[in-house]
Chain A
Amino acid sequence: MALDKTEVEKIAHLARLHISESETEEVTTRITDILTLIDQMQSVDTEAVEPLAHPLDLVQRLRADEITEENQRDRLQQLAPASEDGLYLVPKVLE
């Protein structure tokens, strides 16, 4: 399966990645290579194989419903570019 340039641009946009015009061709080739590998894997007969949700054959451990975290707002907000009244500030987003 081969990808074209528009599809790569769409995927890059969805992942919020900026790919310059000059890089697009190389990225397209690399993704196509990966897809080719997947095509090859698709051709394997997996009739008798159980679908796998995780490579580790283990089961999720659970935690008790307890509050174990403390308020670390002041320390965390030192990492943020901007905050005000306890809120993180980001460039305006409106739907």
Chain B
Amino acid sequence: MEWETVIGLEVHVSLSTKSKLFSGSSTKFGAQPNTQASIFDCALPGTLPVLNEEALRMAVRFGVAIGAEIGKRSVFDRKNYFYPDLPKGYQVTQLDFPTVGKGSLTVTLADGSEKVIGVTRAHIEENAGKSLHEEFSGMSGIDLNRAGEPLLEIVSEPEITCAEEAVAYLKKLHTIIRYLDISDAIMAQGSMRCDVNVSIRPKGTTELGTRAEIKNINSFRFVEKAIHSEVARQQEILEDGGRIIQETRRYNADKDVTTSMRSKEVANDYRYFPEPDLLPVVIDDEYIAAVRAQLPELPNARKARFIEEYSLSNYDAGVLVSSREMAEYFEIVARSSGDSKLAANWVSQDLLGMLNKNNWDITESPIQAERLATLIARIKDNTISGKIAKTVFETMISDKSAVDAIIEAKGLKQVTDSGEIEKLVLEVIENNPIQVQQYKDGKEQVIGFLVGQCMQLSKGKANPAQVNELLREKMQ
């Protein structure tokens, strides 16, 4: 039987506010355990929550960016469960009236086609603390620094049909969140986490199959692998005549399988009710308009502008806008060097290749945008050839001196003196009589070989156009 896959994603993003969602404790990463856990975060009696206005604004900012309906009246609810890293015994979240309603994301797939994926909702909630089970004999250690940090949970419609689409959606979400500057969204550090709901059904049918939820996947690659492995598992069960049970599963990357997490005795009985300690949050059109007015240029708009303004290909523009920092880097290089095509090639190939090889983020690049622009300007004004520029680029990674100083010090300046070039050309003609004869007999392509010989003799420094011209002249 042919099957089709239905995937929905729940993504938790840590909002990058300075203080917590309902208390004035710091959210700074990496502090000593429990030094950022106030009496409210520890749930001492008599303490009350007060909502952080910046967390609300960030949620609305996200909602406006994905064209979502914004809840003008949002209501917080209590989700009740007992776990030591949740001192209150409930998580404050939004059930029926979230701040962000229906919206959508447009993702670009590997074949270049676009697909619109619906976002059901995004709600504000608080994070739990951390439990450490290892170091204390017979006891668990609890760190409440993370307890009460603001999260935005973004829920997609079950409209994703394969692992590749899921990853494209996640990457787009990641890019938008970074452009909006509402979260670091670093999966490896937990500031972006993903739960994947997967089910399969016979191809062509419309009823949803029973789903499994794979919790807390922390990289794009593992999301892809976990989906492949879960789909294969479900297919095998159904084809053997079995049935899928609705449960929470965990992805084991070492074995590339999903395994059942011990299901809670009474699953999903969270006994939600409206949080009596918080009043409804009301915002008006003016508030929403002000947030909208402050939106930065978003990836899709920027991509269109790059294609228009810098005559980039759809592909190049897509690569360059994939992170805000890279797009900004490219624009500096393009503007300062005055050649957007060369700038696009150097940034998306040489620079990106170098960064990937060293596992650096563009913000850690040893070559600043202005320096790369100068290098490109030297190709344009014929000081160096494109090939020599690659050598200069390699040097620039460790040598912080000015581009011109590097070119000077290494004697890499292009030879444009016609006397010197003539010497090279004559030498090559003398040393390669066979090829010269072939050229004279009308074998035009031999010129490439002869130019190559001249370039080699000059250690790449001769101006190839001049060499070409002079060779032809001398062989007439």
**Chain A: residues with CB nearer than 8 A to chain B?**
10, 13-14, 16, 53-54, 56, 58-69, 71-73, 76-77, 82, 84-95
Contacts and interface: CB of A to CB of B under 8 A. Distances in A.
B139 A65 contact: no
A13 B139 CA distance: 23
Most buried by B among A66, A69, A84, A92: A69
B93 interface: no
B53 interface: yes
26 contacts: A53-B97, A59-B280, A60-B279, A60-B282, A61-B50, A62-B51, A62-B56, A63-B53, A65-B55, A67-B18, A67-B24, A69-B19, A69-B24, A69-B38, A72-B38, A77-B34, A84-B136, A86-B143, A87-B34, A87-B141, A88-B144, A89-B139, A89-B142, A92-B139, A93-B131, A95-B261
Contacts of B278: 54, 60
A82 B139 CA distance: 10
Contacts of A13: 265-266
A88 B84 CA distance: 10
A28 to B, nearest CB: 18
A52 to B, nearest CB: 9
Nearest to A55: B276
Given A59-B282, A90-B140, 13 more contacts: A54-B280, A61-B279, A63-B50, A65-B17, A65-B19, A67-B26, A68-B19, A72-B38, A73-B34, A76-B39, A84-B136, A91-B138, A93-B140
Interface string B120-164: 000000000001110110111111100000000000000000000
Contact of A60 (B36, B51, B55, B136): B51
Main secondary structure of the interface of B (DSSP, over half): loop
Contact of A66 (B18, B32, B82, B143): B18
A72 B36 CA distance: 8
B285 interface: no
A89 B141 contact: yes
Contacts of A53: 75, 97, 274, 280
Interface in B63-83: 75, 80, 82-83
A90 B142 contact: yes
B298 interface: no
Contacts of B262: 95
A67 B25 contact: yes
Main secondary structure of the interface of A (DSSP, over half): loop
A88 B142 contact: yes
B282 A87 contact: no
Given A66-B18, A92-B140, A71 B36 contact: yes
Contacts of A59: 279-282
B52 A65 contact: yes
Interface in B15-57: 17-19, 23-26, 32-40, 42, 50-56
B269 interface: yes
Most buried by B among A13, A56, A66: A66
Given A67-B18, A87-B34, A14 B266 contact: yes
B255 interface: no
Contacts of A67: 18-19, 24-26
Contacts of A56: 279
A10 to B, nearest CB: 7
B133 A85 contact: no
A69 to B, nearest CB: 4
Given A76-B34, A86-B32, A87-B132, A63 B144 contact: no
Interface in B388-422: none
A38 to B, nearest CB: 13
Contacts of A93: 83-84, 131, 133, 140
B35 A69 contact: no
B387 interface: no
A60 B31 CA distance: 31
B271 interface: yes
Contacts of B132: 87
Contacts of B261: 95
A89 B50 CA distance: 28
Contacts of A77: 34
Contact of B280 (A60, A63, A73, A92): A60
A71 B52 contact: no
Nearest to A10: B266
Contacts of A72: 38-39
Nearest to A90: B84
Given A67-B19, A76-B34, A87-B143, A54 B26 contact: no
Nearest to B18: A65
Nearest to A68: B24
Given A87-B143, A95-B262, A54 B276 contact: yes
A94 B133 contact: yes
Given A54-B280, A69-B25, A93-B84, A88 B54 contact: no
B82 A16 contact: yes
Contacts of A61: 50-51, 279
